Structure 1
Amino acid sequence: MQLKYLQTIADAQESDCKVVGLAWSPNNQKLAVATVDRQVVLYDEKGEKRDRFSTKPFDPEAGKKSYIITGIAFSPDSAKIAVAQSDCIVYVYKIGEKWGEKKAICNKFPQPSPVTCIIWLLTGPIICGLVDGKVRALQIKSNKSQSLFASDSLVVSLASNSKGTGFLSGHIDGNVIRFYLTHDHNGDEAQGRVVVHSVPPYALAWPQGYIFVGGCDKRVAVFNNNGKLMKNFDYSRDSEEYEFTVAACSPSGQAVVMGSFDRIRLYNYNTRRSLWEETAPKDIKNFYTVTALAWKKDGSKVTCGSLCGAVFMFESVLKRTVWKDKFEITYVGPNQVLVKPLDTNERGVILRSQHGGEIEDVRIMGKDCYLVARTEETLLVADLTKNLLSEVPWNNSFRHEKFYFENSNVCLVFNAGELTLIEYGDNDILCSVRTEFANPHLISVRLNERNSTSDNKKLAYLLDLKTICIVDLVSSYMIAQISHDSKIDWLELNETGHHLLFRDKKQRLLLVDTTTQTKQTIFTGVSFVQWIENSDVAVAQSGSTLAIWYNIDLPENPTLMNIKGDVTDVIRNNSKTEAICVDGSNTFSVELDEGLVEFVNFDVAWLKHLINPIQTYNITAIAFKIEYRLFLYAK
């Protein structure tokens, strides 16, 4: 990775005008710059100044210039900014989600001594270090603060891990202390003092599995999580190098940038060699001391502030490619990739390996709505429209898989007679079964499609050409195994998974009750069949006849309609259900009875919602509505 200069956000002044803090919002839309004149200036992601606000002293009688800002941090929802001050206070300002919204103080946290540094963890609490050596947690909801631990020396730096579940504190006596706020960390990483450095650790970073420490001895020491020295970058004999003042870690945890005088140094983790390597330093003449560093949360940019008020923005990119003139794929680290559409203003998707593997072979598939990528040990799939990413263990290196994206909730991966289901947003394989039939028309998956209060996940697939297997994916229990006397060419579960429709080569349509495993033929000569969305209504065509089962529990009494052409789809939208028909070059629609389709969804839960005692309803109107639906159904 190299740092490439992009632009100057703020120009340097002719006098001391120190940038005391930089912070990128987690949603990547805002950059906050805190200046020595007690102002917080807000920029957009392109570096354009959009807003600013002034901070306030803890004691108004002491005067507006009685303090300085010592650090700033964005909230996890990007709507608040915490400002640490030297007059023993931390203010939390609500800045809103849009530009120009009114700024207001929503939390005040008085402290027993001046605040020296601050971070805001992804898990929620604000962490601040004090002059008296205490490290305290500030809770937004309760507006209370508590001491996590205390030492006898001033806190000079704080650094969070990539998950936001723990942090390191650097103290002026050289101690580096580790603390976790949750219990999901590695048990081998004990809390407490982990490193004793020779000088105060003003430049402190916690990349994945390592600890970076720098200070006035012009050395950058790299420790493992047990405190053992793994690498020492020594610049003490370089007359042009000065003390290290600040550090920042990339969001992926595989790069660290250190700031000194007129220079920033970048260190990358080589995943193949399992060691840290230094790239060529970035010299910035007349920049003077680097006082603040911040890495954009998507990993694409680094900003640095100087003693004279200058703020520079650098691009941190390994490589950039374009996929079929539709998507820009930017590698911002070995294990992190940005995928952004070229024809829209959408921000794109951040693809990151949770296991730290190097991402390769990124492909856009499924009508440009899905993404597939790999590392040496994992497979990554993503729904680009919903911004859902999954990473599952995957040891197959032959890359002969076939991917099917017909289901909006799950990716079907077929390879060497094995079908694997990966639910978007879940990092565990949902199910793996053996089957030789990878046709999506011969596989049906239903995952909680009716907003059920309990998990309802079912799979139907072919064991052989004449045998269907239905599996409960929650319990991994086989619900049913249905045998047939003819080859099956289509099957589909309804959204609740209680009924299964399948068609054989003789164009017979059969219905299976998955609970009782009863099977019956309900229609013949079928050329088209489909369940209607958000209902248990089925539609099938045979010749010029369209059959509609408004009540699938009475399959012998369908509603029949004469139509022209071939039905290609059934669409339910805007309180209207229509069958789309094609007759030669003409396309037209046939409207179904939406009242009957809607009635199918009427159940006890719906009635309970209507007569909820917390709300007031017109009981007569409810009774009339139910009576009207029953009338339509009986008709």
Structure 2
Amino acid sequence: MAWAPNSSRLAVCSVDRVVLLYDEHGERRDKFSTKPIDAKYGKQSYVVKDMAFSPDSTKIAIGQSDNIIFVYRIGEEWGDKKAICNKFVQTSSVTCLLWPAEHAIVFGLVEGKVRLANTQTNKSSTIYGTESAVVSLASNVSGQGILSGHADGTVVRYFFGSGESQGKLFVHPVPPYALAWGANSIMVGGCDRKIVAYGKEGNVLQTFDYSRDRTEKELTTAATSPSGQSVVFGSYNRLRVFNWAPRRGLWDEAKPKEIPNLYTITALAWKKDGSRLCVGTLCGGVEQFDCCLRRSIYKNKFEMTYVGPSQVIVRNLSSGTRVVLKSQYGYEIEEVKIMGSDRYLVAHTSDTLLLGDLLTNKLSEVAWPGSGGNEKFFFENETVCMIFNAGELSLVEYENNQILGSVRTEFMNPHLISVRLNERKQKGVEDNKKLAYLIDLKTIAIGKESAIGLGSECFVFIGMGSRRTRPERQKLALGTWNIISL
């Protein structure tokens, strides 16, 4: 089974080698048949071992036991014509695969190699090779790193870019068929009925031993939530859920989900927004579970679904549109508010501030040490959020994870602040971002993005007659400000 990255489709392949396509509500909408490497061998000559959606959700890669990977173009709409757009013939059976990047499919072979298939060049190459069959693959939350589990218990780590050390990470006592890479550690299960959590350098952090439980069978598969904060293991008639406790730096086991007559769990697929978990069984059944820590209704207009400590789905009840608010650092989201005429999201974590525009779906997360929740937010500008706290004005551009700038001012009023972001293009200048604000009643500071917060503003002084009374001077200052336009 595989969920599309845009959360709109679920693909399920059963023993008859037909891929069934379901919508997010579980209704079957489409299907297509897979093909053998050579028609002369017949449709019964192979088994589908694994499959994955492309990052743009328009293609599906199918790994087969007859030494080939097919990539099918399924289109963007239901009923679009299905066609094979790539073929990757291998020297041994494909056992598992991932599709973490735009044109790169990572897959493992029975002969022990982990390879990369490039859908743009239609060529495949070996990333690394071992002497033991690849039995599982897992990627980290960002998709920049992969883990491969091998039949001799070896787990190997590889990064496409920079990261921690690469190569052989540790050796698990049994083949790691259930392999998951959480946000803070790696979890492995197998036929010894034990689940072991390993640290970033392969050291054992925790061990959960179920070998004395007569009702427990071997652990067959595992899945990590999109945030990396939860991991689910499947065995016989049972799902075991583990949640990361950031304050203690350990995994907490939730109450196991017991399902009589479910039998062996053969596949797990977690919806990319974190709201659903699908479970496939040896007997051909597919069960769909709602994943939710808590759910609430906000202002009778929005539904807040906390699918994990660091991820919240905000759904507009009238339009049905959804926004997935997620802390990229894994911090726990404390509370979500909707402000600015019900258009803008504001949420705090222990160390960051999350902002979002529901209309454009632009989200930001910026470093924001605890301020006691005394900030004032101003949303008059559609491109930038103005935040005033303790005499300091901070600007956050939507979809930018860095604070645009911070300045000191005691005169905080959105009508007395002018912010312009790339509204006028200048020759040879990529970014044209400017801010004008009051330093005091007689001084306006105008600065570029690079100058904001660095003290290199350009000052414009407005003279006030000394004979005027204070209320008159203030009125003149504000009036003068209103005619300034950048």
CA deviation digits over 1:48-99, x for unaligned, max 9? 0000000111111111211110001011001110000111111111111111
RMSD across aligned C-alpha pairs, in angstroms?
1.8
Which of the pair has the greater relative contact order for Cα pairs under 8 Å at 6+ separation? 1
CA deviation digits over 1:186-228, x for unaligned, max 9? xxx2101112000000000000120010000000000011101
Whether the aligned pair in 1 keeps the contact of 2:103 and 2:120 (CA below 8 Å) is no
Correspondence for 1:170: 149
1:34, distance to aligned residue in structure 2 (A): 1.1
Equivalent-residue separation in structure 2 for 1:508 and 1:302 (angstroms)? 57
Give 1:39-438 correspondences, 5 Å limit. Answer: 39-122=18-101, 124-183=103-162, 185=163, 189-346=164-321, 348-438=322-412
SS in 2 for 1:317: coil
Correspondence for 1:463: 439
Whether the aligned pair in 1 keeps the contact of 2:386 and 2:396 (CA below 8 Å) is yes
Whether the aligned pair in 2 keeps the contact of 1:122 and 1:163 (CA below 8 Å) is no
SS in 1 for 2:291: strand
Q: 1:486 to 1:97 in 2, by over 3 A?
A: farther
Q: Does 1:445 align with 2:419?
A: yes
Amino acid at match of 1:439: N
Whether the aligned pair in 2 keeps the contact of 1:235 and 1:241 (CA below 8 Å) is yes
CA deviation digits over 1:325-375, x for unaligned, max 9? 0110110000111111011121x1111111111101210000111000011
Amino acid at match of 1:364: I
Equivalent-residue separation in structure 1 for 2:306 and 2:416 (angstroms)? 38
SS in 1 for 2:86: strand
Correspondence for 2:463: 485
Amino acid at match of 1:181: F
- State TM-score, norm by structure 1: 0.73
Equivalent-residue separation in structure 2 for 1:196 and 1:396 (angstroms)? 42
Whether the aligned pair in 2 keeps the contact of 1:486 and 1:504 (CA below 8 Å) is no
Correspondence for 1:545: none
Equivalent-residue separation in structure 2 for 1:473 and 1:213 (angstroms)? 48
Amino acid at match of 2:21: L
Equivalent-residue separation in structure 1 for 2:27 and 2:70 (angstroms)? 25
Q: 1:507 to 1:213 in 2, by over 3 A?
A: closer
Amino acid at match of 1:454: E
Equivalent-residue separation in structure 1 for 2:304 and 2:103 (angstroms)? 31
SS in 2 for 1:27: coil
Whether the aligned pair in 2 keeps the contact of 1:134 and 1:149 (CA below 8 Å) is yes
Amino acid at match of 1:192: G
Equivalent-residue separation in structure 2 for 1:383 and 1:43 (angstroms)? 30
1:270, distance to aligned residue in structure 2 (A): 1.5
Whether the aligned pair in 1 keeps the contact of 2:186 and 2:198 (CA below 8 Å) is yes
**Matched residues, percent identical?**
55
Give 1:510-525 correspondences, 5 Å limit. Answer: none
Equivalent-residue separation in structure 2 for 1:182 and 1:507 (angstroms)? 54
Q: Which has the larger radius of gyration?
A: 1
Whether the aligned pair in 2 keeps the contact of 1:41 and 1:49 (CA below 8 Å) is yes
CA deviation digits over 1:96-127, x for unaligned, max 9? 11111000111111111110001110454110
Equivalent-residue separation in structure 2 for 1:97 and 1:35 (angstroms)? 23
Q: 1:103 to 1:530 in 2, by over 3 A?
A: farther
Aligned residues: 475
Equivalent-residue separation in structure 2 for 1:41 and 1:426 (angstroms)? 39
CA deviation digits over 1:516-549, x for unaligned, max 9? xxxxxxxxxxxx9697xxxx9xxxxxxxxxxxxx
Q: 1:530 to 1:397 in 2, by over 3 A?
A: closer
SS in 2 for 1:71: strand
Whether the aligned pair in 2 keeps the contact of 1:455 and 1:474 (CA below 8 Å) is no
Equivalent-residue separation in structure 2 for 1:309 and 1:88 (angstroms)? 24
Deviates more, 1:122-131 or 1:74-83: 122-131
Q: 1:76 to 1:451 in 2, by over 3 A?
A: farther
Equivalent-residue separation in structure 2 for 1:508 and 1:176 (angstroms)? 67
1:148, distance to aligned residue in structure 2 (A): 0.1
Whether the aligned pair in 1 keeps the contact of 2:334 and 2:349 (CA below 8 Å) is yes
Point out where structure 2 has 5 or more consecutive residues left out of the alignment: 466-472
Amino acid at match of 1:279: A
Whether the aligned pair in 1 keeps the contact of 2:336 and 2:347 (CA below 8 Å) is yes
Equivalent-residue separation in structure 1 for 2:66 and 2:173 (angstroms)? 30
1:510, distance to aligned residue in structure 2 (A): 6.1
Equivalent-residue separation in structure 1 for 2:365 and 2:157 (angstroms)? 29
Equivalent-residue separation in structure 2 for 1:220 and 1:396 (angstroms)? 37
Give 1:525-536 correspondences, 5 Å limit. Answer: none
1:448, distance to aligned residue in structure 2 (A): 1.1
- State TM-score, norm by structure 2: 0.95
Equivalent-residue separation in structure 2 for 1:50 and 1:329 (angstroms)? 28
Whether the aligned pair in 1 keeps the contact of 2:451 and 2:457 (CA below 8 Å) is no
Equivalent-residue separation in structure 2 for 1:319 and 1:329 (angstroms)? 8
Amino acid at match of 1:470: I
Amino acid at match of 1:232: T
Q: 1:475 to 1:505 in 2, by over 3 A?
A: closer
Correspondence for 1:620: none
Correspondence for 2:469: none
CA deviation digits over 1:361-396, x for unaligned, max 9? 210000111000011111111111111111111113
Whether the aligned pair in 2 keeps the contact of 1:123 and 1:165 (CA below 8 Å) is no
CA deviation digits over 1:589-625, x for unaligned, max 9? xxxxxxxxxxxxxxxxxxxxxxxxxxxxxxxxxxxxx
Equivalent-residue separation in structure 2 for 1:305 and 1:397 (angstroms)? 46
Point out where structure 1 has 5 or more consecutive residues left out of the alignment: 1-21, 488-502, 512-527, 537-635
CA deviation digits over 1:400-429, x for unaligned, max 9? 100001111111000110000111111111
SS in 1 for 2:458: strand
Equivalent-residue separation in structure 1 for 2:464 and 2:7 (angstroms)? 57
Correspondence for 1:505: 475
